[in-house]
């Protein structure tokens, strides 16, 4: 724990103000940590991360902007549009660099879920929403956090994280889409940039305390957050509260338009908010994380209902992929396989399910994890007979064939599936896995590298490439893709060293060496810039108050 004063050499002038602000934030964080509040591991991690960043701010003289922009919180960030007043603070290239830094921070601190099938589903749902929003410029990346938290967040560069707990809490696909549309709106409406503009009108000490409260209060408890800002001027505090409420209201409005445009039920947003609010009134001590970061009031629910009425009610059946993804996440939520098996046997036996085929899929996954492969295969055969082209069932059936020693059948089925559905990259990943099991690592390596070219930044995929390259005896690829895995997990310096090792290998093909060199140069530049800017890639574009 860092003390309230720093004995290290301090920078002079304006940077000294940044040091003082960081120390103020650190003292606030320490005070919050002493509150007797029951916290999840995620919330505890958030406080530790914030304290660590405050310490680095104090020692390095960084700007407070770095605390906000790199913090893994559920606050809204944005992509600036050309011609907006926000452009004076952040260029597109700077925002893209920040997005990469943000995602590396997320991967280093949170359990990002790289499961191909679940990731593919959330990407397809998010892409459909973005395509229905005419204001959605730039690129978006949707990813899953494997924690039972009911929340979602948007980051710079269009990165949008969805917690597994949110998918399980959503009773319909439209409810899940509603939250995602809300986060997309935070991005398209430039809320982070507008927030910075608003904050620039406040004094620096006030801004420091408000940001500490926003980051920590939202992640720990409302009481702790209010305690952190008890000494802040009432007018400044009310101004920030109003600005946040305006952002949430605008995100709701745009989100409902996006939701309806994509063919989902526009009433789903208000319905989901209302159900969470009711649950909070019943279980006050365990309010969903979503309500802490997205406060819901009766007025907000009423406003959402009023806007939805302008589009009219729409009945939309949930997609099978939504139900299958929920079943997979439900199965993963049990620590022990026996517990998962018992759960699905109970729900199937009692008829307590929404979609029987999805429930049986979850049961088959539970049996697979319990190593009851014959029983799981019996369920899988039923599933694939009913839906022979469903990727989830094809992959499960192949995995069970491999477990039962039927590698030839698994390879044949996956090869056929890949030829029929070449755009479904999870099938290609499963096919590569079967090739490795069949003793053909070189073919598996080629298949996986082809997927990686169109599916970058997937840690699980890079790990599979490393395994295939190891079995194929391709040490240069081992070094290269181990470096890629380190990079996406947030370890820049080890990634650079690993890539340097790859270049030193003998007999690296010229084309591969050239690609490695380009990647290495980019990472070195990124590392130099982080050191030069004290870890903050946006210091060249400061707040207008400076």
Parallel, antiparallel or unpaired: strands 141-145 and 112-113: antiparallel
Q: Pick the catalytic residue from 252, 289, 433, 440.
A: 252
Q: Which two tokens stand for residue 99?
A: 């997005």
Query: Which DSSP category does 215 fall into?
Result: I
| Nearest CA among 151, 138, 392, 180 for reference residue 269 | 180
Q: Which two tokens stand for residue 51?
A: 């304290």
Q: Which two tokens stand for residue 518?
A: 């380009």
d(CA 397, CA 385): 11
Q: Pick the catalytic residue from 24, 133, 173, 183.
A: 183
Confirm or deny that 264 is annotated as ligand binding: no
d(CA 141, CA 199): 27
Confirm or deny that 248 is annotated as ligand binding: yes
d(CA 65, CA 246): 21
Q: Which helix (H) or strand (E) element contains residue 4?
A: none
Residue 443, C-beta contacts closer than 8 angstroms, at least 6 positions apart? 432, 435
Residue 379 catalytic? Answer: no
d(CA 195, CA 183): 16
**CA dist 492 to 95, 457, 483, 541, Å?**
18, 13, 9, 23
Residue 183 catalytic? Answer: yes
| β-sheet with 141-145: strand ranges across | 112-113, 141-145, 159-163, 152-155
d(CA 452, CA 22): 40
Parallel, antiparallel or unpaired: strands 159-163 and 152-155: antiparallel
Confirm or deny that 191 is annotated as ligand binding: no
- 66 burial (CB, 10 Å; 0-12 / 13-18 / 19+) is buried
* The 3-state secondary structure of 355-390, one letter per residue: CHHHHHHHHHHHHHHCCCHHHHHHHHHHHHHHCCCC
d(CA 502, CA 475): 8
Active-site amino acid positions: 183, 252
Annotated binding-site members for Zn(2+): 182, 186, 248
Show binding-site residues: 182, 186, 248
């Amino acid at each position: 724990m860092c003390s309230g004063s720093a004995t290290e050499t301090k920078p002079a002038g304006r940077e000294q103000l940044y040091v003082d602000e960081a120390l103020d934030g650190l003292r606030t964080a320490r005070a919050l940590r002493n509150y007797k509040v029951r916290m999840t591991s995620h919330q505890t991690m958030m406080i530790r991360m914030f304290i660590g960043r405050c310490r680095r701010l104090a020692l390095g003289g960084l700007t407070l902007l770095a605390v906000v922009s790199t913090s893994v919180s559920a606050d809204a960030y944005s992509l600036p549009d050309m011609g907006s007043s926000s452009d004076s603070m952040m260029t597109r290239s700077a925002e893209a660099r920040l997005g990469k830094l943000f995602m590396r921070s997320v991967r280093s601190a949170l359990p990002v879920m790289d499961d191909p099938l679940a990731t593919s589903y959330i990407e397809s749902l998010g892409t459909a929403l973005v395509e229905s929003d005419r204001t959605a410029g730039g690129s978006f990346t949707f990813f899953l956090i494997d924690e039972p938290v009911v929340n979602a967040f948007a980051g710079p560069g269009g990165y949008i994280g969805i917690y597994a707990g949110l998918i399980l809490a959503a009773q319909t696909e439209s409810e899940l889409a509603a939250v995602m549309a809300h986060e997309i709106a935070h991005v398209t409406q430039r809320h982070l940039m507008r927030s910075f503009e608003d904050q620039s009108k406040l004094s620096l000490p006030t801004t420091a305390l408000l940001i500490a409260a926003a980051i920590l209060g939202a992640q720990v408890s409302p009481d702790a957050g209010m305690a952190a800002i008890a000494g802040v001027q009432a007018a400044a505090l009310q101004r920030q509260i109003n600005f946040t409420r305006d952002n949430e209201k605008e995100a709701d409005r745009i989100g409902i338009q996006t939701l309806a445009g994509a063919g989902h039920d526009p009433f789903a947003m208000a319905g989901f908010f209302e159900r969470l609010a009711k649950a909070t009134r019943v279980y006050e001590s365990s309010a969903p994380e979503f309500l802490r970061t997205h406060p819901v009031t009766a007025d907000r629910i009423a406003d959402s209902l009023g806007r939805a009425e302008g589009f009219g009610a729409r009945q939309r059946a949930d997609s099978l992929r939504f139900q299958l993804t929920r079943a997979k996440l439900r199965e993963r939520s049990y620590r022990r396989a026996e517990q998962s098996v018992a759960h699905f046997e109970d729900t199937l036996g009692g008829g307590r399910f929404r979609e029987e085929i999805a429930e049986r899929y979850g049961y088959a996954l539970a049996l697979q994890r319990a190593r009851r492969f014959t029983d799981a295969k019996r369920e899988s055969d039923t599933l694939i007979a009913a839906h022979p082209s469903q990727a989830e069932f094809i992959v499960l059936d192949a995995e069970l064939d491999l477990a039962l020693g039927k590698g030839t059948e698994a390879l044949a089925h996956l090869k056929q599936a890949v030829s029929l559905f070449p755009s479904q990259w999870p099938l290609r990943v499963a096919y590569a896995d079967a090739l490795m099991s069949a003793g053909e690592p070189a073919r598996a390596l080629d298949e996986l590298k082809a997927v990686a070219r169109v599916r970058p930044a997937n840690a699980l995929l890079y790990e599979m490439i490393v395994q295939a390259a190891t079995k194929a005896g391709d040490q240069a690829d081992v070094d290269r893709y181990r470096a890629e895995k380190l990079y996406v997990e947030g370890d820049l310096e080890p990634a650079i060293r690993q890539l340097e090792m790859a270049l030193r290998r003998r007999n690296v093909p010229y084309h591969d060496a050239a690609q490695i060199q380009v990647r290495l140069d980019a990472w070195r530049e990124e590392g130099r810039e982080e050191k030069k800017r004290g870890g903050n890639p946006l210091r060249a574009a400061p707040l207008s108050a400076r």
